[in-house]
């Protein structure tokens, strides 16, 4: 048996992050589960010293905890989703859609469902709302 390792150079730009968070906020996305969204305009720095202008603080209806999401968190969520060794609560066909986004860099593939998956995995480590 031969093992093939694929390596992608994938980065979420500020514009992509804004679009993901906007798509996730739709009522058919995470909007129905969110009590509060707070867009923070201050610069935050990722562990790799890349600066992002925004983070979003999210408070879910069923949870009193506030979650902070940055573009770097979305990148980590994408990596976790496409690495098949972690169970993130998504069907393989949904994981393949995320992998297609990464391999083609075609952001038109990111609808409100995919944006919801990315934010859920960034916040909870898995897709909990299906």
Report domain extents, the chain: 14-124
> What string of pLDDT tens digits covers the 130 residues of the chain?
777 666 667 888 888 888 888 888 887 778 888 888 877 765 555 445 445 457 888 888 888 788 999 889 999 999 999 886 778 999 989 999 999 999 898 988 999 899 999 999 999 999 987 6
What pLDDT, on the 0 to 100 scale, is given for residue 42?
A: 54
Q: What is the SS3 assignment for 121? A: helix
Cα 99 to Cα 105: distance, rounded to the nearest angstrom? 10
What pLDDT, on the 0 to 100 scale, is given for residue 6?
A: 66
What pLDDT, on the 0 to 100 scale, is given for residue 119?
A: 93
Convert 47-98 into a string of H (helix), E (strand) and C (coil).
CCCCEECCEEEEEECCCCCEEEECHHHHHHHHHHHHCCCCCCCCCHHHHHHH
């Amino acid at each position: 048996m031969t093992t093939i390792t694929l390596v992608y150079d994938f980065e979420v730009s500020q514009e992509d992050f804004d679009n993901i968070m906007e798509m996730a906020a739709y009522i058919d996305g995470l909007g129905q589960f969110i009590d509060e969204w707070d867009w923070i305009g201050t610069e935050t720095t990722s562990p790799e010293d890349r600066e992002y202008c925004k983070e979003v603080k999210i408070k879910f209806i069923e949870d009193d905890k506030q979650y902070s999401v940055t573009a770097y968190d979305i990148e980590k969520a994408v990596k976790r989703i496409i690495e098949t060794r972690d169970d993130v609560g998504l069907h393989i066909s949904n994981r393949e859609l995320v992998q297609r986004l990464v391999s083609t860099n075609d952001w038109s593939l990111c609808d409100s469902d995919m944006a919801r998956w990315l934010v859920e995995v960034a916040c909870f480590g898995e897709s909990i709302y299906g």
